[in-house]
C-alpha cells in the first residue's frame, strides 16, 4: 500500500502485502485470545459513511476501532450533508481536518476514489457496486486458517469455486485470484457476469502470477473437486426490484447438498452474508458441518483490525511484542 495508504480496490494491495497483512492479523488475534490489549490506534478516529445498510461491516469496524484503542463515528448519508448534495471532494477535505481515516459503503466506486483523491487521510472501501475488498481479504484469511497445509492443500493451492451472481464480491475475488496466483473458477448466469474490465485486469494479473482463472456458466463444472465453494445473495443491495425475473435466471445455481457432493469431500462452504436461505444456499448446507460462514463473519473483525493498523497506525508494531 502507498504513502497516504488507501484500500479502494483489491488491486491496491500486492500479494506480499496480503501475506504481511495476514501475519499482522495473526498477531492481533493471538493478542486478543490471550487477553492482551493492543492499542496502536489510541487517539485516532475513523469516520464511517453508509449510503447502504450494513450489519457486519458497520459493527466489525466499530468494535475493531474500539479494541485498537481508537474511536469511530457512524454517518448515515441522510444524517450528513452528502445526502443533500455536498460533494464528495468537499466532504473529503472536511473529514481530513477532523478524523484520521474514513471507511465508506456506497453505490458508486467514484465516491471512494473521490475521498481518496481529495482528502489527505486513508480511505477504505467498505463495499461499492463494483467491489468488496475487505470482504474478500477476510475470505482469504478464513481459507488460510482452514487450509494451513499439512495433509491437505496449502491455502494458496486450494481450488476455489464461486457460484452465483457476478457481483462486487465476485469482482474482488477475481482480482484476488489474479494477484495471489490462485485457482479460481467463477460460475455465473450469462445474464449476470462479472465486470468485464475486472475480468480483463484479473487475466492480466494471472499471466504474471500464474493464477488459473476459469469463467463460465456451469456450477457443476466449477465446483468439481473444489476445496472452497463460495456463494452470495442473488439480490445485491439495489437489485431487489427485479425479483421474479432475476430469480428464474439463477435456476441451477443454488449451493445445496447435490452441488456440494461434487466438490472435494473436505471442501468448506463460504458465504459473505446476509444469506437469502432457500435461494442461493439451503439451510442444510449453511448450517451443515462444512459451512464456515460464521467464522468468516467473525474474521471481518480480525482482518479489518489488521487493515486499520496497516493504514492508520503511526507505529503498527506498537504493543505487538
Ligand atoms: N458481508 C457484508 O458486507 O455484510 P454487511 O452487508 O452486513 O456489512
Query: In the structure grid, which three cell numbers stand for residue 33, read together?
Result: 485470545
For the beta carbon of residue 189, count every other beta carbon within 10 angstroms: 19
What integer pLDDT is reported at residue 209 of this predicted model? 98
* pLDDT band, residue 268 (cuts 50/70/90): very high
198 touches ligand 1 (CB under 6 Å):
no
Measured in Å, residue 273 CA sits from the centre of ligand 1 at 6
Mean residue pLDDT of the chain comes to 96
Question: Which tens digits make up the pLDDT trace of 182-219?
Answer: 999 999 999 999 999 999 999 999 999 999 999 999 99
Whether 132 sits among the annotated catalytic residues: the reply is yes
Question: Which tens digits make up the pLDDT trace of 112-170?
Answer: 999 999 999 999 999 999 999 999 999 999 999 999 988 889 999 999 999 999 999 99
Atom 6 of ligand 1, residue of closest alpha carbon:
54
Distance CA 25, CA 14 (A): 16
Distance CA 269, CA 226 (A): 10
What integer pLDDT is reported at residue 2 of this predicted model? 44
**Distant-in-sequence contacts of 241-250, Cβ < 8 A, 24+ apart:** 246/192, 247/279, 249/189, 249/191, 249/192, 250/164, 250/165, 250/189, 250/192, 250/279, 250/280
165, 201, 254, 272: which one is catalytic? 272
What integer pLDDT is reported at residue 33 of this predicted model? 97
What integer pLDDT is reported at residue 320 of this predicted model? 78
Whether 134 sits among the annotated catalytic residues: the reply is no
Give the ligand 1 atom nearest the CA of 57.
8
What integer pLDDT is reported at residue 39 of this predicted model? 96
What integer pLDDT is reported at residue 210 of this predicted model? 98
Question: Which tens digits make up the pLDDT trace of 223-250?
Answer: 999 999 999 999 987 776 667 788 999 9
Share of the chain above pLDDT 90, in %: 91
Distance CA 101, CA 121 (A): 5
What are the residues facing 213 on neighbouring strands? Answer: 184
* DSSP single-letter state for residue 289: T
Q: What is the pTM of this model?
A: 0.97
* pLDDT band, residue 106 (cuts 50/70/90): very high
83, 108 Cβ separation under 8 angstroms: no
Lateral strand order in the sheet of 45-50: 71-76, 45-50, 101-105, 123-125
Q: Which residues 6+ apart lie within 8 Å of 308 measured at CB?
A: 41, 46, 61, 64, 65, 68, 70, 101, 124
Atom 7 of ligand 1, residue of closest alpha carbon:
55
Give the ligand 1 atom nearest the CA of 273.
1
Amino acid at each position: 500500500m502507498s504513502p497516504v495508504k488507501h484500500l479502494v480496490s483489491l488491486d491496491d494491495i500486492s500479494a506480499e502485502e496480503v501475506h504481511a497483512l495476514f501475519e499482522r492479523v495473526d498477531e492481533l488475534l493471538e493478542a486478543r485470545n490471550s487477553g492482551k490489549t493492543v492499542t496502536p490506534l489510541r487517539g485516532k478516529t475513523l469516520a464511517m459513511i453508509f449510503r447502504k445498510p450494513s450489519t457486519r461491516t458497520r459493527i466489525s469496524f466499530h468494535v475493531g476501532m474500539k479494541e485498537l484503542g481508537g474511536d469511530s463515528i457512524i454517518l448515515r448519508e441522510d444524517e450528513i450533508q452528502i445526502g443533500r448534495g455536498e460533494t464528495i471532494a468537499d466532504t473529503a477535505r472536511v473529514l481530513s481536518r477532523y478524523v484520521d481515516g474514513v471507511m465508506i459503503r456506497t453505490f458508486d466506486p467514484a465516491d471512494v476514489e473521490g475521498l481518496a483523491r481529495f482528502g489527505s487521510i486513508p480511505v477504505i472501501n467498505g463495499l461499492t457496486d463494483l467491489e468488496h475488498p475487505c470482504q474478500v481479504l477476510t475470505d482469504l484469511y478464513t481459507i488460510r486458517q482452514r487450509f494451513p497445509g499439512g495433509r491437505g492443500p496449502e491455502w494458496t493451492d486450494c481450488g476455489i469455486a464461486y457460484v452465483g451472481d457476478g457481483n462486487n464480491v465476485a469482482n474482488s475475488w477475481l482480482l484476488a485470484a489474479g494477484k495471489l496466483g490462485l485457482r479460481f473458477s467463477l460460475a455465473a448466469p450469462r445474464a449476470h457476469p462479472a465486470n468485464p474490465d475486472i475480468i480483463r485486469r484479473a487475466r492480466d494479473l494471472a499471466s504474471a502470477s500464474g493464477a488459473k482463472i476459469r469463467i463460465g456458466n456451469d456450477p457443476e463444472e466449477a465446483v468439481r473437486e473444489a476445496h472452497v465453494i463460495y456463494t452470495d445473495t442473488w439480490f445485491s443491495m439495489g437489485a431487489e426490484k427485479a425479483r421474479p425475473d432475476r430469480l428464474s435466471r439463477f435456476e441451477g445455481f443454488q449451493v445445496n447438498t447435490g452441488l456440494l457432493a461434487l466438490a472435494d469431500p473436505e471442501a468448506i462452504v463460504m458465504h459473505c452474508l446476509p444469506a437469502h436461505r432457500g435461494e442461493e444456499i439451503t439451510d442444510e448446507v449453511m448450517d451443515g458441518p462444512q459451512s464456515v460462514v460464521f467464522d468468516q463473519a467473525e474474521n471481518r473483525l480480525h482482518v479489518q483490525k489488521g487493515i486499520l493498523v496497516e493504514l492508520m497506525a503511526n507505529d503498527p508494531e506498537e504493543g505487538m511484542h
